[in-house]
Amino acid sequence: MANNQTELLREKIQTIFPAEAQIPAEFQLAAPLHQRQYLVDGKMKTWDGPCHTVFSPIYVDQNGELTPKEIGSYPLAGEAEALAALDAACRAYDQGRGEWPTMSVAERIACVEDFTKKMILQKKAVVNLLMWEIGKTYADSVKEFDRTVEYIYATIDALKELDRSSSRFVIDQGILGQIRRSPLGVVLCMGPFNYPLNETFTTLIPAIIMGNTLLFKPPKHGTLLHYPLLEAFRTSFPPGVVNTIYGRGSNVVPKLMESGKVNVLTLIGSSRVADQLKKMHPKVNRLKAILGLDAKNLAVVLPNADLDTAVKECLLGTLSFNGQRCTAIKIIYVHQQIVDAFLSKLTEEVGKLKFGMPWDTGVSLTPLPEPQKPDYLENVIREAQAYGAKVMNPGGGLRNRSFVYPAVVYPVNDKMKLFREEQFGPVIPVVPFEDIETPIQYLLDSDHGQQVSVFGTDAAQIAALIDPLVNLVSRVNINAQCQRGPDTFPFTGRKDSAEGTLSVSDALRSFSIRSLVATKYTEANKNIINVILDNHESKFLATRFIL
């Protein structure tokens, strides 16, 4: 029976990729997008140097031969261009005296609103490129775009609120003061391939709106989708506020860091890269880092867990966007008493997931954008098998080019790479346990500390876990998968998983510093303050209430 299922799956997986004519017209790429322009200092510059060709994870069947679809190319610029962008960002910031950092909050908000309106007009192009560049499903690509727009509007509202509460004076111990938040300087922003638009913008937008200037390096996979937005950046902000960096990260980023002119590094990526980059800055004390890094989120399924809920949430947690979320559940500890029932239900549910191309209706499993990933996943599955684990679901681990069918691997133990490494793909390691100390010990020994999911129905048992777990990770999810949202919730992690906190309101704080104006509460000083306020002579020292 299982063999039959595996054979059926094998056949389907062998024919997963479409012929050109089978691609629905609305998702066809009219022509490859050969980006030759990049944005620096308010100008679209033309690049005539080497370029990186972008191949989609989607292969196309041409008379039985599969070739990855070429979707375009982008500049492989070098150090000189990166340093020119850095100069432009420094000039625009002008040590805090530039037009942008001294602009009023209301004026900056107006620019971001203007940008967002123009961004929305590019939705179709961006969504289509999301699908082609990283293989994200149409539904998730639309969700990523919409969530990003909502995030921008929520950021604007949060900033208005912050500004309103800073529009008053404080009087304490005979000192009169007004306390606001000021920008930090030049921000180097690098986003990840899995949420190339959303996660990039959850740092980029708060960074800009707080008055910083920006060097923006799009992720290696997920670069072209930013191209339709460059004109909106150019026309919505003063020159030099947003500057793009193209090229191999290892060529261009070290020079930027070594210059000592980057004030904030914001990166969603690996802790290894973040560590290296921070150390390149000549004055680390002048560098603020806001980082979202590696994670190996754990789910614990207690013996009394509601199996339907646990399986449903673990399925979402492990396989949404093929397991390529930093917040994905990447290892599941299941109590011995229910592990057989759990595995049987989980494998059944995995079998129901639809796989195919990103535009297929109801699809949830799609090709993977990282070229080395299928080999890596095959290796970790093989290694686990060599150490005694089995692939529990029919067809688990079958592959065709960039597509890998999910594998439930059991029982996983500490000899296997799957036990510790962040697989970032559709492989689900399951570990049996008897003593609750076992998964806790896993977290104690872990280099990661982002989130955990606990499945159970006994309130006392859950309560006993909450207290140790909140000090090991940053979010404990009860009977729910791990996730970042809602975006008003703090998103952070311990150990190698993060530095700083992101959420709509936390990000505004992360990309700014408190500054204040203070004076002795005397008649003469009160008079000076009143004149400044009445004549609107300062943007900082002001009581204007943003509506």
Q: Which of 485, 488, 489, 528 binds ligand G3H (CB under 6 A)?
A: 485
Contact, 86 vs 261, CB < 8 A? yes
Residues in Cβ contact with 201 at an 8 Å cutoff, skipping those fewer than 6 apart: 148, 151, 152, 191
Which tokens hold the place of 232?
């909106």
- Return d(Cα 322, Cα 350) in angstroms, integer: 12
Angle at which helix 123-134 crosses helix 227-236, to 10 degrees, equals 140
Q: Indicate whether 158 belongs to the interface with ligand G3H (CB under 6 A).
A: no
Shortest spacing between CB 325 and ligand G3H, in angstroms: 4
Shortest spacing between CB 467 and ligand G3H, in angstroms: 24
**CA nearest neighbour of 2 among 319, 384, 392:** 392
Contact, 391 vs 426, CB < 8 A? no
Which tokens hold the place of 215?
């060097």
Q: Which is nearer to ligand G3H, 244 or 483 (CB)?
A: 483
Shortest spacing between CB 230 and ligand G3H, in angstroms: 24
Shortest spacing between CB 483 and ligand G3H, in angstroms: 4
Q: Which is nearer to ligand G3H, 13 or 326 (CB)?
A: 326
Q: Which is nearer to ligand G3H, 194 or 347 (CB)?
A: 194
Residues in Cβ contact with 509 at an 8 Å cutoff, skipping those fewer than 6 apart: 181
Stretch that binds ligand G3H, among 44-52, 158-166, 209-217, 319-327 (CB under 6 A): 319-327
Q: Which of 138, 195, 403, 405 binds ligand G3H (CB under 6 A)?
A: 195
Q: Which is nearer to ligand G3H, 38 or 151 (CB)?
A: 151
Q: Indicate whether 194 belongs to the interface with ligand G3H (CB under 6 A).
A: yes
Q: Which of 241, 253, 326, 430 binds ligand G3H (CB under 6 A)?
A: 326
Q: Is the dihedral of CA 29, 35, 39, 43 positive or negative?
A: negative
Q: Which is nearer to ligand G3H, 122 or 200 (CB)?
A: 200
User: Would you call 70 exposed, middle or buried from its count of C-beta atoms within 10 A (0-12, 13-18, 19+)?
Assistant: middle
If you search the block for the tokens 């930093």, which residue do you land on?
A: 326
Shortest spacing between CB 327 and ligand G3H, in angstroms: 4
Shortest spacing between CB 491 and ligand G3H, in angstroms: 7
Q: Which is nearer to ligand G3H, 202 or 212 (CB)?
A: 202
Shortest spacing between CB 324 and ligand G3H, in angstroms: 8
Q: What angle do CA 120, 121, 127 make, to 5 degrees?
A: 70
**CA nearest neighbour of 191 among 219, 165, 222:** 219
Stretch that binds ligand G3H, among 50-58, 67-75, 406-414, 481-489 (CB under 6 A): 481-489
If you search the block for the tokens 């293989």, which residue do you land on?
A: 135
* Residue 539 CA: distances (Å) to CA of 32, 100, 106, 240: 47, 12, 10, 21
Give residues 198-217 in contact with ligand G3H (rule: CB under 6 A): 199
Stretch that binds ligand G3H, among 53-61, 332-340, 349-357, 482-490 (CB under 6 A): 482-490
Binding to ligand G3H by CB under 6 A, coded x per residue (else -) over 238-277, reads: ----------------------------------------
Binding to ligand G3H by CB under 6 A, coded x per residue (else -) over 271-310, reads: ----------------------------------------
Mode of pairing for the β-strands spanning 407-410 and 390-391: antiparallel
**Three-class SS of residue 80?**
helix
Q: Which is nearer to ligand G3H, 327 or 402 (CB)?
A: 327
Contact, 294 vs 448, CB < 8 A? yes
Q: Indicate whether 325 belongs to the interface with ligand G3H (CB under 6 A).
A: yes
Give residue 225's identity as a one-letter amino acid code. L
Which 3-state string (H, E, C) describes 175-212? EEEEEEEEECCEEEEECCCCCCCHHHHHHHHHHHHCCC
Total binding residues toward ligand G3H, as defined by CB under 6 A:
9
Q: In 380-468, which ranges are E strands?
A: 390-391, 399-400, 403-404, 407-410, 427-433, 448-449, 451-455
Stretch that binds ligand G3H, among 67-75, 159-167, 194-202, 244-252 (CB under 6 A): 194-202
Shortest spacing between CB 529 and ligand G3H, in angstroms: 44
Q: Indicate whether 327 belongs to the interface with ligand G3H (CB under 6 A).
A: yes
Q: Which of 483, 492, 497, 503 binds ligand G3H (CB under 6 A)?
A: 483
Contact, 448 vs 496, CB < 8 A? yes
Q: Which is nearer to ligand G3H, 282 or 485 (CB)?
A: 485
**CA nearest neighbour of 339 among 455, 420, 445:** 455
Q: Indicate whether 151 belongs to the interface with ligand G3H (CB under 6 A).
A: no
Stretch that binds ligand G3H, among 29-37, 159-167, 191-199, 250-258 (CB under 6 A): 191-199
Q: Which is nearer to ligand G3H, 201 or 405 (CB)?
A: 201
**Residue 352 CB neighbour total at 10 angstroms:** 8
Shortest spacing between CB 453 and ligand G3H, in angstroms: 12
Q: Which is nearer to ligand G3H, 223 or 483 (CB)?
A: 483
Q: Which is nearer to ligand G3H, 136 or 325 (CB)?
A: 325
Which tokens hold the place of 509?
């704080």
Which tokens hold the place of 44?
């679209």
Shortest spacing between CB 368 and ligand G3H, in angstroms: 15
* Torsion angle (degrees, nearest 10) of CA 527, 528, 534, 537: 180
Q: Which is nearer to ligand G3H, 58 or 326 (CB)?
A: 326
Shortest spacing between CB 100 and ligand G3H, in angstroms: 28
- Return d(Cα 236, Cα 338) in angstroms, integer: 57
Interaction site with ligand G3H (CB under 6 A): 194-195, 199, 325-327, 483-485
